[in-house]
């Protein structure tokens, strides 16, 4: 009995993850320029120091981009990270870099998923 419950739970989590990826894919398609700016800003936060005086404005820019990508709160990756980076949630300056690292890891998975489901490939 427990094995069946576990299998159902795993299947349900996989469906939720797939739905989140599909909703995130639509958000990227609809707001691609914001998506590129989000990735660029996140990389900058990870690779370069953020002055303490610029912390709040940098975090606010991230939240604005995440909001633009999921303005109707459809349950995308962007909503998840917007909630984690919102002013009420992130209270330690050092967590901004950690959150951006996690965000970029999720976006990498999203990009790989998007490329795998399309027949077109980028040739360099």
pLDDT digits (tens, 9 = 90+) for 17-69: 999 999 999 999 999 999 999 999 999 999 999 888 898 899 999 999 999 99
If one compares 106 and 94, the residue with the highest pLDDT of the two is 106
CA distance 44 to 36: 12
If one compares 117 and 45, the residue with the highest pLDDT of the two is 45
The predicted pLDDT at position 9 comes to 86
pLDDT tens for residues 84-96? Answer: 888 775 556 668 8
Q: How many CA atoms lie within 13 A of 55 on its CB side?
A: 14
The predicted pLDDT at position 89 comes to 59
What is the residue-wise DSSP string for 9-74? Answer: HHHHHHHHHHHHHHHHHHHHHHTHHHHHHHHHHHHHHHHS---GGGHHHHHHHHHHHHHHHSTT--
Taken in order 97, 102, 106, 112, the sign of the CA dihedral is positive
> Which residue in 51, 49, 62 sits closest to 89, CA to CA?
62
> Which residue in 77, 67, 75 sits closest to 103, CA to CA?
77
């Amino acid at each position: 009995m427990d094995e069946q419950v576990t299998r159902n739970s795993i299947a349900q989590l996989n469906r939720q993850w797939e739905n989140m990826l599909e909703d995130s894919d639509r958000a990227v398609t609809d707001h691609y320029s914001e998506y590129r700016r989000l990735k660029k800003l996140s990389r900058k936060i990870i690779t370069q120091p953020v002055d303490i005086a610029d912390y709040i404005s940098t975090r606010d820019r991230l939240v604005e981009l995440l909001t633009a990508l999921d303005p109707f709160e459809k349950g995308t990756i962007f909503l998840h990270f917007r909630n984690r980076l919102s002013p009420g949630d992130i209270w330690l300056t050092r967590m901004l870099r950690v959150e951006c690292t996690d965000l970029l890891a999720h976006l990498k998975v999203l990009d790989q998923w998007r490329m795998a489901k399309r027949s077109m490939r980028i040739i360099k």
